Amino acid sequence: MKADIILAGVGGQGILSIATALGEAALADNLLIKQAETHGMSQRGGAVYSHMRISDKPISSDLIPGGSADLILSVEPMESLRYLPYLSEQGYLVTNITPFVNIPNYPDIEMIIAEIRKFPRCVAIDADTIAKEVGSTRASNMVMLGAASPFIDIEFSKIEDGIRRIFARKGEDIVTMNLDALRRGRRFAEENR
């Protein structure tokens, strides 16, 4: 088993919460993990990414080699395109379609979506709207993880358990909401892949 995932977003969007949930699931599955994060300067509203590598065999490099990622998982549409040089020939592009506009020259969102849809193996999902439906836009990252889950070779129940553990101390309501977000994201991806 191997999953090389590029997580992408904008500083402040909390992409690492996805990594944490996935990391929990992978550890519970006795898998090995390496995960490179972005800290520092770029966190201040700049482009941020994380290289998340999960495998049942030892992982050497902290960085995913170009052209070999199994999945780009982006919480922002333009950011999903920034890391295309990492995507493998069979890789999936899973992205939120709600733009995060904090630069004056943000491109036309329709053109961004069109570029995303050029990929035969893509899931473009309105995670913010789904998150609002389950209770809070803050659950949008878990919608995204759900949407990516069909393309990650980890048992779905392990991912659910990971979410339970991470949100446990915030109370049962928060756990339920995030699980709901996760399942809705997964359903969307399965219906629209």
Partner 1 sequence: MQKHLFLGVEAIGQGAIDGGMSGVYAYPGTPSTEITEFIQDNPIAEERNIHRKWSANEKTALETALGMSYAGKRAMSCMKHVGLNVAADVFVNAAITGVNGGLIVTVADDPSMHSSQNEQDSRFYGKFAMIPILEPSSQQEAYDMARDGFTLSELTKVPVMLRITTRLAHSRSGVVRKEVLPENELTMPTDPRQFILLPAIARKRYKGLLSNQDLFQQLSQESVYNRYEEGTDKSLGIVACGIAYNYLIEHFPGGTCPYPVVKISQYPLPENLINRLDKECDELLILEEGAPLVEESLKGFFSKGTPIKGRLDGTLPRDGELNPDLIAKALGKEMFKGFEVPSIVANRPPALCVGCGHQDAYAAMNEALADYSKGRVFSDIGCYTLGALPPYETISSCVDMGASITMAKGAADAGLIPSIAMIGDSTFAHSGITGLLDAVNEKSNITVVISDNESVSMTGGQDSSAYGKIESICIGLGVDPAHIHTIVPLKKNHAEMVQLFRQEFAYDGVSVIIPRRECIQRASRRKRNSK
Q: How far apart are CA 178 and CA 164, in angstroms?
A: 9
CB of 184 to partner 1, least distance (A): 27
Categorise residue 126: left if φ over 0, alpha if ψ from -120 to 50, beta otherwise: beta
Q: Is 84 in the site for partner 1 (CB under 8 A)?
A: yes
Query: In the range 107-146, which residues lie near partner 1 by CB under 8 A?
Result: 107-108, 111-112, 115
Task: Specify the residue, 92 or 188, whose C-beta has the smaller distance to partner 1.
Answer: 92
Q: Which residues contact 186 (CB under 8 A, 6 or more apart)?
A: 146, 147, 149, 150, 156
Secondary structure element (H or E) that encloses residue 27, with its range: helix 15-28
Size of the site for partner 1 (CB under 8 A): 53
Check binding of 169 to partner 1 (CB under 8 A).
no
Interface with partner 1 by CB under 8 A: which residues? 10-11, 23, 27, 32-47, 51, 57-69, 78-79, 81-82, 84-89, 102-103, 105-108, 111-112, 115
